[in-house]
């Protein structure tokens, strides 16, 4: 079964996010698309919780969960996220070469990933549903409270080099 078919089937079965991300990342690794860490986050329609996210690690599985209430959406951890900058500037996808010298001003996350030995970071924003902000839309900053999901996968090995060479 393809990864896309597996994701669709598990989503229809309402598989918990932790199991969905774990299964997805492990299947990528089985296909020799080496992924060390995955971040998945999304806004919710919950009256108390504005956003949820988790971090998956190749060695240990899901290592961290985050929930942010509506009043917490302006915390530094969110403002300093590379996804915040991507949404505000209208970029749906970004590839960062972590092997290159860091720029003077970059998201704190990238220093953490470099320290863990990762060589690249791929971030992607997936709008979900009709109310999702359209990345690049002139109203995106006003609409970031609506539904969206973000994922980052710092690939290693073949996936990172293939991705980098396709951008050159």
pLDDT of residue 101: 94
Low-confidence ranges of the chain (pLDDT < 70): 127-168
Per the listing, tokens 């108390």 go with 48
CATH number of 15's domain: 3.30.450
* pLDDT one-digit tens code per residue, 100-109: 999 988 999 9
Rounded to the nearest integer, the mean pLDDT of the chain is: 78
Structural domain of residue 105, as residue ranges? Answer: 3-167
pLDDT of residue 62: 93
Q: Write the DSSP assignment of 96-162 as a string of letters.
A: EETTSPPPSS--HHHHHHHHTT--EEEEEEEE-STTS--TT-TTGGGGTTSSEEEEEE-B-HHHHHH
Q: How many domains in the chain?
A: 1
SS3 category, 32: coil
């Amino acid at each position: 079964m393809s990864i896309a078919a597996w994701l669709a089937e598990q989503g229809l079965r309402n598989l918990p996010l932790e199991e969905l991300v774990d299964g997805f990342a492990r299947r990528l690794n089985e296909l020799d698309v080496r992924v060390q860490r995955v971040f998945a986050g999304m806004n919710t329609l919950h009256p108390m919780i504005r956003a949820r996210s988790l971090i998956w690690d190749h060695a240990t599985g899901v290592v961290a969960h985050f929930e942010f209430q509506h009043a917490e959406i302006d915390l530094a951890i969110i403002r300093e996220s590379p996804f915040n900058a991507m949404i505000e500037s209208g970029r749906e996808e970004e590839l960062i070469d972590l092997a290159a010298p860091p720029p003077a001003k970059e998201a704190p996350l990238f220093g953490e990933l470099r320290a863990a030995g990762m060589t690249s970071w791929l971030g992607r924003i997936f709008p979900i549903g009709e109310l999702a902000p359209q990345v690049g839309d002139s109203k995106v900053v006003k609409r970031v409270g609506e539904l969206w999901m973000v994922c980052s996968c710092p690939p290693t090995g073949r996936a990172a080099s293939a991705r980098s060479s396709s951008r050159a």
